[in-house]
Amino acid sequence: MDIIPVLDLRGGIVVRAHRGQRDQYRPLESLLARTSDPSDVMRGIYSIYPFRSFYVADLDAIMGTGNNEAVLWRLKAEFPAAVFWVDNGIADLSSARRWLSANLGHLVIGSESQQDTALVLHLSQHDRVVLSLDFRDHTFQGPAALLREAASWPRRLIVMTLARVGSGAGPDFDRLCAIRNLAADRQIYAAGGVRDGADLTALKRAGIAGALVATSLHDGRLHGSYLEVE
Burial 173-191 (b: 16+ CB within 10 A, else e): bebbeebbeebeebbbbbb
pLDDT at 14 over 90: yes
pLDDT at 54 over 80: yes
Q: Please, what is the average pLDDT of the chain?
A: 92
- Residues 158/132, Cβ–Cβ less than 8 Å: yes
Rounded (to 5) percent helix, strand, coil in the chain? 35, 25, 40
The whole-angstrom separation of Cα 198 and Cα 228 is: 12
pLDDT at 137 over 90: no
The whole-angstrom separation of Cα 35 and Cα 48 is: 17
Going along the chain, which residue ranges are E strands?
A: 2-10, 13-16, 26-27, 53-58, 83-87, 106-110, 129-136, 139-141, 156-161, 187-191, 210-213
The whole-angstrom separation of Cα 62 and Cα 99 is: 14
- CA-based nearest residue to 83, from 72, 93, 92: 72
Strands 2-10 and 13-16: antiparallel
The per-residue pLDDT for 95 is 97
The whole-angstrom separation of Cα 214 and Cα 226 is: 14
The per-residue pLDDT for 192 is 85
The per-residue pLDDT for 173 is 93
pLDDT at 229 over 70: no
Where does residue 52 rank: exposed (0-12), middle (13-18), buried (19+ CB within 10 A)? exposed
Calculate mean pLDDT across residues 145-160.
Answer: 96
pLDDT at 20 over 60: no
User: What's the DSSP call for residue 138?
Assistant: T
